[in-house]
């Protein structure tokens, strides 16, 4: 057997421990697949621990571990975007390949990190950064490499999906389910990153780059959380044959012609009504799934655990197994020549495109509208006339009987419309005398 | 841009034409991803055609094209296991990398072909051979490379899935749907390969090898078709919360201890009741899907089009894109050293395992039984006693009212049991005086 591959793990929390356990459990399989021995030589942790194999060096100086001669691959699992960035850049500078599960780090600093890695002839692998154990980065960068990707839609935050699933299945309100998710350890004490969609936006930025060959542009992701979703809307959606999921979308829009500013890419995270019978609508609990529509393949779906020690360790070690093959190349030039490795963002750096990211007002989606009105004759006529004047096509209407307060919720599903048009229409609807409340709007996608 | 990658396509039927179209449609994306130009230099076809780009050499001598100096990668799309084998072996001998969509060829001759490829330092890539456009070979060989795979279950024949879907959705009998599938071009005039599960068995043999690191053993796949499935069973299954799908299973059994011959691998294709709410049960029409259960990742599902020109071309060209990177390596040794390429069967050849394939009688599954009996008191007691004596646990019973002939169908769902035990029990049940007909048995799996 050839020489061992030496790993350093920075950070030994849940995921780091998962990686250690995976190597212990599956070492035989790893060797049978790679033909190499794989050993953890060093761990970077703040405080010494006595439950660690004495053959492994424990180092509280993470920068030193990142540069250690005793290490081929540095696995960054400390999280955050400050120290993590420093150690990753330091590892790259010292010629180490890097594996990271850190979506925030890459979404915010990936362009800089990947360029630095190219410069130093090393790879930064990040399968674990998106959708946990689902090998979606490999699928999109390699498995779908011959396709032109039109759009993708993903459940890429397990906490959000758990909450949406429980609300529908058990008829429990948002706040109630969130508390349970926190108790179960699915959601953080501060759940903002999950329920406001920031975590999903990080992952979407990465997926969009490798789908379309564009630089990372996390700051341009339109992001809407699920805190405003009520049981009422969940139930109306079901009644109409839809289910509300918190999805990230990356969509390529061809526009209407040359010089047209409607051409570009939509990057958006928001609650979405999707057809009940779509597989994506039936991905429940903390599971993640990504649906990719590409030419000529059509739709493919990838589903699995998006978080947790085992799933994340699986992705981290899949990256290590890829790097083991790279390390089999004799000279450094071979390890990183353009003809040879999968580009960090799927497309070779000099061919990344400057396709613009569309503004929210330019985005095109269908809509679910819930309008509350006094039960006066003519209100439905007023609303539908406003929509029709704005060129918005109605796909379905559900008018429930007046409830005890004398208000009638009217539910309207529309065909896809440019957001700016919808904004204008809603403004007009809300000015009608018969309308008693703000219009509730949730996007809708047929996934067709 | 570095030198062009030169492709030869052998066979220009539906899939071959799909590959040509893909390259025409997506050449810009292919170049942006690979940094290389990709050109078809030669096609091997029996008769000259005038609808082909005049820059492409047309050669009716396929063996010559397979060995042409004008070619880096040979794409075999002629099908069958005779000429296809000759041209693949000839291409390998002449140092060409090969891409093939030919599941029958690899399932039956893959061990020989892969060994010959290793010997000649070239790769034989076969993403398109299993589940069409779903990148399941890449997912299992690379994406899940750090996992120990416990079992997989797949809908890996689109025709069969179309038939099972239509029977359930429309309440149409098997023969009726088969005729439609033939009219739609989903099923061949001779549908044996599809409906008897042989096509699925070819694919299962490939999946099992890369899951467990065992040689290809197509001849040991237990194979049962869907021709005997009736609407009656489809409906009873639904009533009990299950759906019947035609599935391929590869399952690793640990056995009960050392020297125990129950340890081994189950390879089986058969109709199976699975829970209605499982995602796999909701993969409809001609779609394929593979569910993989592995440690530590858990269950992941991969779904998409399993056939058709676009899906197959997508997989063929994904292989080409991988080989483009291999061809970026300067010397031949680098292209194929163990430390460097993904082994053909996921595990390095000298580490393939001789784990035995279990015989049908050793396999363990749950069962759906439909028993017809005269409506005499005590018949249910007799049946349940026989099952209980054989150590078979009943999970559910459904006894429908006696119909006009005075017979009562009793439906019994059992927990998993060794097949030989079930055979004995059924033999005893069929000997009861009160039993009027053969017991109908369909396997059942909770996919847990």
Q: What's the gap in Å between the CA of B314 and the closest CA on chain A?
A: 6
| CATH fold for domain B363-444 | Alpha-Beta Plaits (3.30.70)
B-chain residue closest to A344, CA distance: B33
Q: What's the gap in Å between the CA of A347 and the closest CA on chain B?
A: 4
Please compute Rg for chain A using Cα positions: 24
Inter-chain residue contact B279 with A282, CB threshold 8 Å: yes
Q: What's the gap in Å between the CA of A346 and the closest CA on chain B?
A: 6
**C-alpha distances out from residue B447 to A10, B195, B242, B299, B301, Å:** 36, 23, 12, 9, 12
- Tens-digit pLDDT profile for residues A31-40: 999 999 999 9
Quote the percentage of chain A above a pLDDT of 90.
86
Bond prior to B55 in cis (omega within 30° of 0): no
**C-alpha distances out from residue B43 to A148, B25, B71, B84, B319, Å:** 25, 19, 10, 14, 18
Instruction: Please state the length of chain A.
Output: 448
pLDDT of residue A303: 98
Q: ipTM, 2 decimals? A: 0.95
pLDDT of residue A331: 47
Which amino acids of B are annotated catalytic? 203
Q: State the pLDDT confidence band at B404, using cuts at 50, 70 and 90.
A: low
B-chain residue closest to A21, CA distance: B296
Does A57 have pLDDT greater than 70?
yes
The answer to whether B188 is annotated as binding is yes
B-chain residue closest to A149, CA distance: B29
Inter-chain residue contact A297 with B309, CB threshold 8 Å: no
B317 → closest Cβ in A127, A146, A322: A146
Q: Which two tokens stand for residue A275?
A: 């057809």
Q: State the pLDDT confidence band at A337, using cuts at 50, 70 and 90.
A: very low
Q: State the pLDDT confidence band at B387, using cuts at 50, 70 and 90.
A: very high
Whole-number Å distance between alpha carbons of B97 and B223: 33
Q: How many CB pairs under 8 A join A and B?
A: 243
Contact B149, B292 (CB under 8 A): yes
pLDDT of residue A336: 46
Alpha helices in B327-413 (DSSP H): 332-336, 379-389
Whole-number Å distance between alpha carbons of A145 and B318: 6
Q: State the pLDDT confidence band at A190, using cuts at 50, 70 and 90.
A: confident
- Best residue of A31, A33, A347 to probe chain B, by most B CBs closer than 10 Å: A33
Of A391, A190, A164, the closest CA to residue A270 belongs to A164
pLDDT of residue A373: 86
The answer to whether A304 is annotated as binding is no
Quote the percentage of chain A above a pLDDT of 70.
95
Does A414 have pLDDT greater than 70?
yes
Q: What share of chain B is helix, strand, coil (3-state, %, to 5)?
A: 40, 25, 35
A144 → closest Cβ in B36, B318, B342: B318
Q: State the pLDDT confidence band at A328, using cuts at 50, 70 and 90.
A: low
Q: What is the DSSP letter of B282?
A: G
- Tens-digit pLDDT profile for residues B232-242: 999 999 999 99
CATH number for the domain whose boundaries are A137-305: 3.30.360.10
Contacts of B21 in chain A (CB under 8 A): 296
pLDDT of residue A329: 60
Strand ranges (E), B391-434: 394-399, 407-418
Does B333 have pLDDT greater than 50?
no
B348 → closest Cβ in A35, A313, A320: A35
pLDDT of residue A405: 59
Of A427, A412, A405, A422, the closest CA to residue A370 belongs to A412
When pLDDT is averaged across residues B88-112 and rounded to a whole number, the result is: 98
Inter-chain residue contact B146 with A31, CB threshold 8 Å: no
- Beta-carbon contacts of B296 under 8 Å, excluding residues fewer than 6 positions away, are A18, A21, A22, A25, A26, A309, A310, A311, A313, A314, B147
CA dihedral A72, A76, A81, A85 (to 10 degrees): -10
Q: Which two tokens stand for residue B60?
A: 């009716």
A347 → closest Cβ in B32, B282, B313: B32
Q: What's the gap in Å between the CA of B427 and the closest CA on chain A?
A: 41
Q: Map out the domains of chain B as residue ranges.
A: 5-134+309-351, 137-305, 363-444
| Domain A5-136+309-351: which CATH number of 3.40.718.10, 1.20.1090.10, 3.40.50.720, 2.50.20.10 | 3.40.50.720
Inter-chain residue contact B133 with A32, CB threshold 8 Å: no
Whole-number Å distance between alpha carbons of B424 and B2: 67
pLDDT of residue B102: 97
Q: What's the gap in Å between the CA of A74 and the closest CA on chain B?
A: 17
Contacts of B337 in chain A (CB under 8 A): 328
Contacts of A295 in chain B (CB under 8 A): 25-26, 310
Whole-number Å distance between alpha carbons of A70 and B278: 47
Contacts of B296 in chain A (CB under 8 A): 18, 21-22, 25-26, 309-311, 313-314
Q: State the pLDDT confidence band at B2, using cuts at 50, 70 and 90.
A: low
A-chain residue closest to B127, CA distance: A143
Does A332 have pLDDT greater than 60?
no
When pLDDT is averaged across residues B330-355 and rounded to a whole number, the result is: 73
Inter-chain residue contact B127 with A143, CB threshold 8 Å: yes
B279 → closest Cβ in A25, A303, A343: A303
pLDDT of residue A258: 65
pLDDT of residue A423: 97
Inter-chain residue contact B146 with A36, CB threshold 8 Å: no
Q: How many CA atoms lie within 13 A of B143 on its CB side?
A: 29
Of A144, A63, A26, A157, the closest CA to residue B139 belongs to A144
pLDDT of residue A185: 83
- Best residue of A20, A23, A27, A29 to probe chain B, by most B CBs closer than 10 Å: A29
Alpha-carbon A377 to chain mean position: 46
Contact A250, A212 (CB under 8 A): yes
Please compute Rg for chain B using Cα positions: 24
Does B374 have pLDDT greater than 90?
no
Whole-number Å distance between alpha carbons of B198 and B375: 40
pLDDT of residue A37: 94
Where is pLDDT greater, at B16 or B333?
B16
pLDDT of residue B339: 45
Q: State the pLDDT confidence band at A400, using cuts at 50, 70 and 90.
A: confident
Q: State the pLDDT confidence band at A333, using cuts at 50, 70 and 90.
A: very low
Q: Which two tokens stand for residue A308?
A: 């947790």
- Tens-digit pLDDT profile for residues B178-209: 999 999 888 877 899 999 999 999 999 999 99
Contact B351, B213 (CB under 8 A): yes
CATH superfamily of B5-134+309-351: NAD(P)-binding Rossmann-like Domain (3.40.50.720)
Comparing A211-225, A246-260, A416-430, the range with the smallest average pLDDT is A246-260
Q: What's the gap in Å between the CA of B149 and the closest CA on chain A?
A: 10
- Tens-digit pLDDT profile for residues B296-329: 999 999 999 999 999 999 999 999 999 998 886 6
B302 → closest Cβ in A294, A302, A321: A302
Q: State the pLDDT confidence band at A64, using cuts at 50, 70 and 90.
A: very high
When pLDDT is averaged across residues B395-423 and rounded to a whole number, the result is: 86
pLDDT of residue A187: 80
Q: Render the burial of A89-113: b for 16+ CB within 10 Å, e for the rest.
A: bbbbebebbbbbbbbbbbbbbbbeb
Contacts of A277 in chain B (CB under 8 A): 282
Contact A76, A9 (CB under 8 A): no
Inter-chain residue contact B313 with A338, CB threshold 8 Å: no
The answer to whether A248 is annotated as binding is no
Inter-chain residue contact A145 with B321, CB threshold 8 Å: yes
pLDDT of residue A409: 87
Judged on CB neighbours under 10 Å (0-12, 13-18, 19+), B188 is middle
| Average pLDDT score over chain A | 93
- Tens-digit pLDDT profile for residues B147-187: 999 999 999 999 999 999 999 999 999 999 999 999 988 88
Q: State the pLDDT confidence band at B3, using cuts at 50, 70 and 90.
A: confident
Inter-chain residue contact A337 with B318, CB threshold 8 Å: no
- Tens-digit pLDDT profile for residues A372-399: 988 777 888 999 999 999 999 999 999 8
- Tens-digit pLDDT profile for residues B361-370: 999 999 999 9
The answer to whether A16 is annotated as binding is yes
């Amino acid at each position: 057997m050839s020489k061992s591959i030496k790993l350093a793990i920075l950070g030994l929390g849940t995921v780091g421990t998962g990686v250690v356990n995976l190597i212990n459990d599956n070492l035989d399989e790893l060797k049978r697949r790679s033909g190499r021995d794989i050993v953890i030589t060093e761990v970077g942790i703040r405080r010494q621990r006595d439950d660690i194999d004495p053959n492994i060096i424990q180092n509280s100086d993470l920068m030193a571990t990142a540069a250690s001669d005793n290490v081929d691959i540095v696995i960054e699992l400390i999280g955050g975007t400050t120290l993590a960035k420093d150690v990753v850049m330091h590892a790259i500078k010292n010629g180490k390949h890097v594996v990271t599960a850190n979506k925030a780090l890459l979404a915010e600093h990936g362009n800089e990190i990947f360029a630095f890695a190219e410069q130093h002839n090393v790879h930064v692998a990040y399968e674990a950064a998106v959708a946990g154990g689902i090998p979606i980065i490999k699928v999109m960068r390699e498995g779908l490499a011959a396709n032109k990707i039109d759009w993708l839609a993903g459940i890429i935050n397990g906490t959000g999906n758990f909450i949406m699933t429980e609300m529908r299945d058990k008829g429990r309100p948002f706040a109630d389910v969130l508390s349970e998710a926190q108790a179960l350890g699915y959601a953080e004490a501060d759940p903002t990153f999950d329920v406001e969609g920031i975590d999903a936006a990080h992952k979407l930025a990465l997926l969009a780059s490798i789908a379309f060959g564009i630089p990372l542009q996390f700051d341009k992701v339109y992001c809407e959380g699920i805190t405003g979703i009520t049981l009422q809307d969940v139930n109306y959606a079901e009644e109409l044959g839809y289910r509300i999921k918190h999805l990230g979308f990356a969509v390529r829009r061809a526009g209407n012609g040359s010089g047209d500013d409607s051409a570009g890419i939509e990057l958006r995270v928001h609650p979405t009504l999707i057809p009940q019978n779509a597989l994506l609508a039936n991905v429940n609990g903390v599971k993640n799934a990504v649906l990719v529509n590409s030419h000529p393949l059509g739709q493919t779906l990838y589903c699995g655990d998006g978080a947790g020690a085992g799933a994340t360790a699986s992705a981290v070690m899949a990256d290590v197994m890829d790097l083991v093959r790279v390390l089999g190349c004799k000279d450094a030039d071979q390890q990183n020549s353009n003809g040879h490795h999968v580009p960090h963002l799927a497309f070779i750096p000099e061919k990344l495109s400057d396709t613009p990211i569309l503004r929210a007002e330019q985005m095109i989606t269908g809509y679910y509208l819930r309008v509350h009105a006094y039960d006066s004759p003519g209100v439905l006529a007023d609303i539908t006339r406003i929509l029709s004047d704005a060129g918005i096509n109605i796909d379905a209407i559900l008018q429930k009987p007046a409830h005890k307060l004398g208000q009638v919720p009217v539910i309207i599903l529309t065909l896809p419309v440019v957001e700016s048009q919808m904004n204008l229409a809603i403004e007009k609807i809300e000015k009608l005398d018969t309308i008693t409340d703000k219009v509730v709007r949730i996007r809708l996608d047929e996934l067709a």
